[in-house]
Amino acid sequence: MIRWYGWIAFIFILSHVSIGISQEANASRQDLGLNNPAVKPASSAGSEGIRFEYLAIEDAIAGYLDAMNRRDAEQAASYWSRRGEWVKKNGERVRGRGNIANAIKELFAEEPRGTTIALDEVSIRLITPNVALEEGVAVVNSPESERRTPYSVVHVKMDEGWRIDSVRATQVPVVPKKVANLQALNWLIGDWQDEVSGGIRVETNASWTLGGQSIRRSFQMFDEQGLREQATQVILWDAKLGSLRSWIFDSKGGFGTGVWKQVENNKWVVDMELQLADGGLASAKNVYKVIDDSRLEFFSTSRKLNGVELRDTEPVIVNRK
């Protein structure tokens, strides 16, 4: 017979976890960051005519990105000037609209499907009535990695409208997908403490392991007599599952696994499957809500012990030490 105190303690301790291609066809100004306050004329005294030119450039950027996201190389190349030049991250230069169309086709063949792109920190400056400079960061997400590539674009005004005359991209390190996803749990890092009813106190430490490929968490549970239980948890990116996953082991011989899912900007749910020291089986959905940099809210729901449903726990505030 599993002791209820041991179960409550165990479940509580376990709880504490180039331009790409997109399948999305339409890109709005908001998607591009073009409504960001950073996107503004170099001079605030612009007339309606100048404002019209900025809007026309933004439309050209949105059209070009839409064509790239639809994998339409010919349409994308049509947004270039006939003598345009693309300087790639490796320094290779591609000149002329036809050659650029072929280079874009090669890019489509190289990039895995499911790759997405967004533009960040975009700014546009009208240098002369017929020349504009666009600068920003292209954020490319593929199934394997995330890339943030600073770029600059020179736009020229032609009879058919604003066209790209040159693009220059800067080589930056590629962030492995597993590291990029794990960074979303950076809020866990540090020392935490919470008070539970019945005089139980849980202290938690979370830190990055060497190389930053996983997060290690250690737990200590104290009661009025002192240290009662300990546990260790490791969280990392499971490439086969395509999710953040954790493994936990407690000092009495229990162990479990969890799958972490971000359901809101500041809220995570961990689906736990557990085996207690005596072979009992348990499961739960543990919920974390980030209140601010120094406080978390935690509760556990959908709890079962050997197939028997248990009531949800009351929310607990966890404080950074």
Instruction: Please state the separation of Cα 130 from the chain's center in Å.
Output: 38
Which of 36-40, 142-146, 159-163, 235-239 is least confident? 36-40
Segment 64-94, tens digit of pLDDT: 988 888 889 999 999 999 999 998 777 788 9
Both structure tokens of 202: 């849980």
Longest dimension (CA), the chain: 83
Number of H helices and number of E strands within the chain? 6, 18
Structure-block tokens of residue 296: 């978390």
Fold of 29-173: Nuclear Transport Factor 2; Chain: A, (3.10.450)
Task: Provide the token pair at 96.
Answer: 């002329």
User: In terms of pLDDT, which residue wins out, 50 or 9?
Assistant: 50
Residue ranges matching CATH 2.40.128.20 in the chain = 179-320
Mean local confidence (pLDDT), 190-195: 89
Tokens linked to 128? 């002369």
265: which residues sit within 8 A by CB, 6+ positions away? Answer: none
- Listed in sequence order, the residues at least 6 apart from 42 whose beta carbon sits closer than 8 Å to its beta carbon are 125, 126
Residue 157: predicted pLDDT: 93
- pLDDT higher than 70, residue 1: no
Which residues are registered as beta bridge partners of 164? 80, 155
Q: How far apart are CA 34 and CA 32, in angstroms?
A: 5
Q: Write the single-letter amino acid at 7.
A: W
- 267-275 and 295-305 as β-strands: parallel, antiparallel, unpaired? unpaired
Highest mean pLDDT among 104-118, 183-197, 291-305: 291-305
Among the listed ranges 156-160, 196-200, 207-211, 247-251, which one has the minimum average pLDDT value?
196-200
The per-residue pLDDT for 197 is 67
Residue type, 114: G
Residue 26 in this model has a pLDDT that exceeds 50 = no
Q: 132 near 57, Cβ under 8 Å?
A: yes
pLDDT band at 7 (very low <50, low <70, confident <90, very high): very low
Of the chain, the percentage scoring pLDDT greater than 90 comes to 45
Can you give the pLDDT at residue 168? Answer: 84
Question: What phi and psi values does residue 76 have, to the nearest 5 degrees?
Answer: -60, -45
Q: Considering only 115-129, 219-233, 279-293, which range has the smallest mean pLDDT?
A: 115-129
C-alpha–C-alpha distance, residues 275 and 305, integer Å: 10
Structure tokens at 29: 């100004």
pLDDT interval class at 25 (50, 70, 90): very low
DSSP letters spanning 142-176: -SSEEEEEEEEEEEEEETTEEEEEEEEE---PPEE
**Which residues of the chain form CATH 3.10.450.50?**
29-173
pLDDT band, very low/low/confident/very high, at 111 (cuts 50, 70, 90)? confident
- Banded pLDDT at 217 (limits 50, 70, 90): very high
Task: Flag whether pLDDT at 34 surpasses 60.
Answer: no
Helix (H, G, I), strand (E, B) or coil at 17: coil
With beta carbons less than 8 A apart as the criterion, state whether 268 and 243 touch. no
CATH number of 179-320: 2.40.128.20
Pairing mode, if any, of strands 255-264 and 267-275? antiparallel
pLDDT in tens, 150-191: 888 999 999 989 999 999 876 655 555 556 678 889 999 999
How sure is the predictor about 17, in pLDDT bands with cuts at 50, 70 and 90? very low
Cα(166)–Cα(87) distance, rounded to whole angstroms?
A: 8
List, in sequence order, every residue forming a beta bridge with 243; answer none if it has no partner: 238
Tokens of 279: 């072979």
Amino acid, res. 216: R
pLDDT of residue 174: 52
